[in-house]
Chain A
């Protein structure tokens, strides 16, 4: 009789455990990473004979709970981890490339300032002497330079933020690696098949999923279920090896991307970035650096082209045109540990080319020290301080030891409009030439600026110069003393002292072509037209505007590609998630059905116990009766 009770009791116990597990599954139905669990049961054999003289018992052994089974599917888990890594990678790329695109397009676009500057140049070519038009041209040039430096500053700040983001991801990777190592330790200590072991396996898989979103990983499980994780592929460096884990950090790579290093400094290893957020950040940084380089190249080209063209002309005073843009700025950055609120203002002398410097405050003397970074020279005293063409002033209240790092920046960050007055805009050509009024032939003279003759002529030439047409289509360039400077044929460039002249058409003998240096108050739009022609000038990357298009396309195209790929990756990830949910997730219908099943089994076992109790009671009654 006691056997019946024992059998029923084992049944009650196993079904109660099964019902508990169903309750647990339902409770965790919405818990991310929860893998469906079920109770593993097996029928027990009847107890063996007590002695050789005892006959084998006829009967059953009941049911035994062997453990808790997880409906884990390692292949689908791995597939989900990889697809989530892809989504994270493309998401990170998309997020940062969108920011880069924003810093180069829309209100921050260079297209409008470039277009405005050429439009102002067109107006200048129409009205070369108008002060208002000249002022507008300078204002447009200033706006363009400001836009360049603002975009450069945006990109620089974005790069810093991106690196900080990558540092946070590396810290997370380290932290998740440590957490996984701890879980591994607990798994080693847990009883296999226990509820605790199943919970730890869930935690382990969840951590692996989170790690996989940061970097692609290769995961191996040892027989006890402890995870061995390598970053990249099976040949990558170890992040977690059983109960030990390595620290991760990211560095800026020379090619513009990021490098992930694992292990203690000095003996660390480079981990390949195949997927995950860090790979996306690395791709985004490469493109960001490339955009910065293109922006710098464009700024350098604009500065060089316009400076050369402007210097080839003459201003309203008849003076040579000055460079339009300076190409170097000195930026002051406060050190992280500064305690005061001092602000630093830096100005740079025209033509100065300083190196990096530091500016430090000594509260004891109340003086500042401006010093070259290589410590080869310094000045100390009250503000303002000047060294190597750099003049520094401060405002606010510094504290002892406050430090500022002064860094010269070229490229887009360095371009600025020089202090030029509207009258100093060189709209006129440096040299003018025309056909004398009495010429009989039909010919035109074209003149352009050229280097001075080298060596200088002795005795010096005396302007003004004239081109004389000789018989047979020959020409002679002479100074006012009738010294022949150069000779040639119609169509040849004749080199003068600081200019070159070419006569085309059909001059006849004794025709004259006059040459004059542009004087104060003389007009002419020749140089404005020359600067306007820069719009069509083609460099290796096409025109200035073409280069700008390439700059924008260099971000827009990979961004569009990242978005398309991200959409596909999300679809893959959703499919993988659904596949895993199908294998490992909680299905409430199934739980409900099993609940009914176990409920009935429980009730049946309870009924057997009741029957056994009643039978036992009847037996006792008959014995007693």
Chain B
């Protein structure tokens, strides 16, 4: 039998080589356990930079999505309030038309006036709609206060200022609820002033003057309703924009996930093959070491 006999004492270097293989196995096992191609920056500094940038982008997209969701929620509330406001104005117009009918008597006009006052209160409440955190939707940036308040003479005035917060967190400007005047008109010509004129017309004792006031109110209510509908369309457009932004964010996050998988993801099959190869190498090294250095000529001397 051929026997390998090596008497030279090189055990320390051979052992170091085996230790090096073992440490490679340990590192590879760590990577497999985490499913990542590298577990610390020094293993792949360039890859780590890319992975960091992608992770940041993902966190940013996530924050953007929260901002979009938040803005969408506020706009949805605003849309409901505007739709309800439109219904109020339609009802007010119906009442104005009824009152303008020559057959409506004084007691009926008093009943109509009572309902119009109720509609006005309802419209004020809708114009002062709050979101779930208590912010007034149509007060612009001054959303800690009601958007509209009545003065001492009962006139409803806009108290808001500036632009409401929208989806600025997602880098999108001008997607907040529109300020009150954009929906309800100016203090002088807006919906509340029209309802006041309608009430004034209903209380007008002079028939010709009453008729003129009621008829102009009907026309103005149509304009006010149109403004609300235009505002609603604006809100709808903003919501559609936010929806498309949601899709952009989702697509972006998908790309980020793919990018991270490509940069940091471990090719499990390749890693397991490498692990197997390293184990085989280590085992072979150990056996060879034992065969080569396990015996010397001394063992063969009789």
Contacts and interface: CB of A to CB of B under 8 A. Distances in A.
Interface of A: 26, 29-30, 32, 97-98, 101, 105-106, 111, 115, 118-119, 121-123, 125-130, 428-429, 432-434, 437-438, 514, 516, 518, 521-526, 528-529, 532, 535, 545, 549, 552-553, 555-557, 559-560, 563, 567, 570, 574, 577-578, 581-582, 585-593, 596
22 contacts: A122-B60, A123-B66, A123-B169, A125-B67, A125-B168, A126-B71, A126-B168, A129-B133, A129-B134, A514-B161, A522-B144, A523-B135, A523-B143, A529-B169, A552-B48, A553-B48, A574-B16, A578-B10, A578-B13, A586-B9, A588-B297, A589-B297
Nearest to A582: B8
A30 B141 contact: no
A553 B45 CA distance: 6
A549 B63 contact: no
Interface of B: 5-13, 16-17, 20, 40-45, 48-49, 52-53, 55-56, 59-60, 62-64, 66-67, 70-71, 133-135, 139-145, 158, 161-163, 165, 167-170, 179, 181, 185-188, 296-298, 301
A123 B64 CA distance: 9
Highest count of chain B CB atoms <10 Å: which of A122, A129, A522: A122
Nearest to B181: A437
Closest 9 CB pairs of A and B: A588-B7, A524-B141, A556-B41, A592-B297, A122-B63, A589-B7, A588-B296, A437-B181, A521-B144
B295 to A, nearest CB: 9
B141 A585 contact: no
Contacts of B141: 428-429, 432, 434, 518, 522-526
A30 B56 contact: no
A255 B20 CA distance: 35
Contact of A585 (B9, B16, B45, B167): B9
Given A105-B40, A553-B41, A437 B187 contact: yes
A596 B297 CA distance: 11
B28 to A, nearest CB: 15
A559 B48 CA distance: 13
Contacts of B186: 437-438
A589 B16 contact: no
Given A437-B158, A545-B56, A592 B62 contact: no
Contacts, number: 190
A538 B133 CA distance: 34
B6 A434 contact: no
A590 B13 CA distance: 20
Contacts of B135: 129, 523
Given A126-B168, A433-B162, 19 more contacts: A105-B40, A111-B56, A119-B62, A123-B66, A125-B169, A126-B66, A432-B161, A437-B185, A514-B161, A524-B141, A529-B168, A532-B168, A560-B44, A578-B13, A586-B9, A588-B9, A588-B296, A589-B5, A589-B7
Given A522-B145, A591-B7, A126 B165 contact: yes
Highest count of chain A CB atoms <10 Å: which of B13, B41, B55: B41
Contacts of B301: 592, 596
Given A98-B42, A428-B141, A122 B181 contact: no
A200 B64 CA distance: 75
A593 B297 contact: yes
A30 B17 CA distance: 18
Highest count of chain B CB atoms <10 Å: which of A434, A529, A567, A590: A434
B13 to A, nearest CB: 4
Contacts of A111: 52, 55-56
B9 A581 contact: yes
Given A585-B10, A588-B297, A115 B163 contact: no
Given A126-B71, A549-B52, A588-B7, A525 B133 contact: no
A528 B63 CA distance: 14
A108 to B, nearest CB: 12
Highest count of chain A CB atoms <10 Å: which of B5, B134, B142: B142
B163 A434 contact: yes
A54 to B, nearest CB: 49
A591 B299 CA distance: 12
A552 to B, nearest CB: 6
A429 B188 CA distance: 29
A439 B66 CA distance: 34
A111 B168 CA distance: 23
Contacts of B48: 552-553, 556
B10 A434 contact: no
A125 B45 contact: no
A437 B297 CA distance: 106
A31 B280 CA distance: 31
Contact of A105 (B41, B44, B53, B67): B41
B25 to A, nearest CB: 15
A106 B42 CA distance: 12
Nearest to B68: A126
Highest count of chain B CB atoms <10 Å: which of A119, A437, A528, A591: A437
Given A122-B64, A122-B169, A126-B71, A592 B296 contact: yes
Nearest to B174: A444
Contacts of A574: 13, 16-17
B297 A125 contact: no
A408 B143 CA distance: 44
A524 to B, nearest CB: 3
B66 A101 contact: no
B140 A122 contact: no
Contacts of A432: 141-142, 161-162
Contacts of B66: 122-123, 126
A593 B40 CA distance: 53
Nearest to B14: A574
B70 A127 contact: yes
A129 B143 contact: yes
Nearest to B64: A122
A105 B5 CA distance: 50
A543 B80 CA distance: 41
Given A437-B187, A529-B168, A578-B13, A122 B67 contact: yes
A592 B135 CA distance: 96
A126 B165 CA distance: 7
Given A129-B143, A560-B42, A434 B71 contact: no
Contacts of A26: 298
A433 B162 CA distance: 6
A111 B140 CA distance: 35
